[in-house]
Amino acid sequence: MDKLPMALDQNCSGASEDFPSLLRRKGLRQTPLDGPIAGGHQPFVPTESTTILAFKFSAGVLVAGDRRATAGNTVVYDRADKVLEIDRHSIMAIAGVPATAWEMARVLEHSFQYFRRTQLQEMRVDGKVRALSKLLRDNFGFVMQGMGMVVPIFATYDFDTNSGGRLYFYDAMGAQFEVTDYAATGSGSPAVRGILHYANNWSDKPLQRLSEDEAVTIALRALDTAAESDTATGGVDRSGKIYPLIKIVSHDGIATLPEQKVASIFNETVA
């Protein structure tokens, strides 16, 4: 490993390269992901999910995700569920490896249920946020091995402080950041953030004043725009009639928008 410091010094300008990739490029590390799979000649490529978004509007927090899951340049599944209900007022949207993310969602769900049944009250928002942060930190060993990365969005409703909808995004190490207006992660997120920023600052009214139908329109436009430039984002499949999954968290709980309504709004205001 005496070559490692030199390798790091020579690569100090390439800040965008992750540490495992640097080690592999220098021939200092190899994982099962780098080699051929049994009986084949192709390396293992994990399934990944993108793109997700969330923003506050007049009735609460809207959380949406496209339905595509990919492995490299292969479309594995076009009806993946990336917007997961954790409890009656909490949603976790996932970008990254779905196998890891779904397991995190199950652990969170059971943790919140256990707390509610043993303490006879809901866990506070700060506790929910930190619980997800801890799961991400515990998973960081797999991230360093080049697999298992999850970058989620967490939306919930805060009854304790009367602040209404709360929205957080995370990095792969578990750092959480509360946002006032919107969040987006995944490979299509740059285009999504551009759409949401424009809509929030220069449209007729900001995101937090939109009605439900107007908010759904913005979400569909953002995901459809992302799909134009990002092959991993499914957007709206017009031929297959596959639409993004959209949920709304509010004072009354979580509502999943029927596919018929999403299709109707898309045909009237987007297509």
Q: Within a domain: residue 151?
A: yes
Model pTM score: 0.85
Q: Within a domain: residue 261?
A: yes
**Lowest-pLDDT range of 53-62, 81-90, 213-222, 231-240:** 231-240
pLDDT in tens, 160-175: 888 899 999 999 999 9
Is the dihedral angle over the CA atoms 81, 84, 88, 89 positive or is it negative? negative
Q: Within a domain: residue 248?
A: yes
Q: Within a domain: residue 158?
A: yes
pLDDT in tens, 102-138: 999 999 999 999 999 999 999 999 999 999 999 999 9
Q: Within a domain: residue 27?
A: no
Q: Within a domain: residue 36?
A: no
Return the pLDDT at 6.
45
User: What CATH number is attached to the domain comprising 109?
Assistant: 3.60.20.10
Residues near 115 by Cβ (< 8 Å), separated by ≥ 6? Answer: 122, 123, 127
Catalytic residues: 50
